[in-house]
Chain A
């Protein structure tokens, strides 16, 4: 894979872009993060990166691929609570929470960079602004969780599904990983159902309706948004919660 020959700095580009959308990131800060990186690990779709109940000694950052935060319920049902894209520091939570209260799984083949917690401790001791940026990242996780919670409580299943497509396109295009209202989504319908909290049977009906209304098409792992304005309106989507404004933090 190409990711095996890339330097750590190259693998960290989506992460740097994620921060640079919202603030500045000095060259010393970029070097400090790169120096704290340890291993790169490949995961296959369906693998777990971290398991609920475990006590990881390093945090993980997604260099490429999609991962998700999830919980399994006693009846075997699964609920996703977030979808992570390249550049997401998915497991910064374990750095301070210590014991995992959820699992993180690979939705596609992906490359992960690990950051030993003791190195992150040293980074936070030396770089106060970078520390605030790491804090900002977990706040962004929180704002996305809030948005999903509002959706689960108050939006209909078609609205939540439309919202998810709006969110994924907005986040991917902000990173330069999608354009022209289309993006690669090589996951199953059942995984999208687990993200919006409905059954596999229901998601099939929801997606068919979205196709019939010419909102989106989703074939061969490629999502095409056919009418952005209508999709945004259906989803009541407002990207404020993604905080895509560059300002000093």
Chain B
């Protein structure tokens, strides 16, 4: 089975995966990355400065495939005092 590496980028920096995982194909790797994003988003979004996070899937052949979650805060427009 091919080896897939999952680098994570978030507010704390870039975490390069040096271990990797043996998975049957890129579709499975993407599913794995989505699961990881779902776990991580819970912790990351609690941090005040969090803008989101990103996983870059690397393998020898395809890719890299990038999955990301972005947090935006939209404040309502306020009437300016006259």
The interface of chain A, by Cβ under 8 A from chain B, is 156-158, 189, 198-202, 204-205, 208-209
Contacts and interface: CB of A to CB of B under 8 A. Distances in A.
8 contacts: A156-B42, A200-B32, A201-B32, A202-B39, A204-B15, A205-B15, A209-B12, A209-B15
Nearest to A188: B19
B43 A208 contact: no
Given A201-B8, A202-B39, A156 B46 contact: yes
Interface string B1-44: 00000101000100101010100000000001101100110110
B43 A158 contact: yes
A157 B42 CA distance: 9
Contacts of B46: 156
Interface of B: 6, 8, 12, 15, 17, 19, 21, 32-33, 35-36, 39-40, 42-43, 46, 55
A156 B47 CA distance: 11
Contacts of A156: 42-43, 46
Nearest to B34: A199
Judged by DSSP, the binding face of A is helix
Contacts of A209: 12, 15
A192 B12 CA distance: 22
A157 B43 CA distance: 7
Given A198-B36, A201-B6, A202-B36, 4 more contacts: A156-B46, A200-B21, A202-B40, A204-B19
A199 B43 contact: no
A199 B15 contact: no
A199 B12 contact: no
A204 B17 contact: yes
A163 B36 CA distance: 20
A199 B39 CA distance: 7
A204 B39 CA distance: 13
A156 B42 CA distance: 8
A201 B43 contact: no
A158 B46 CA distance: 13
A201 B36 contact: yes
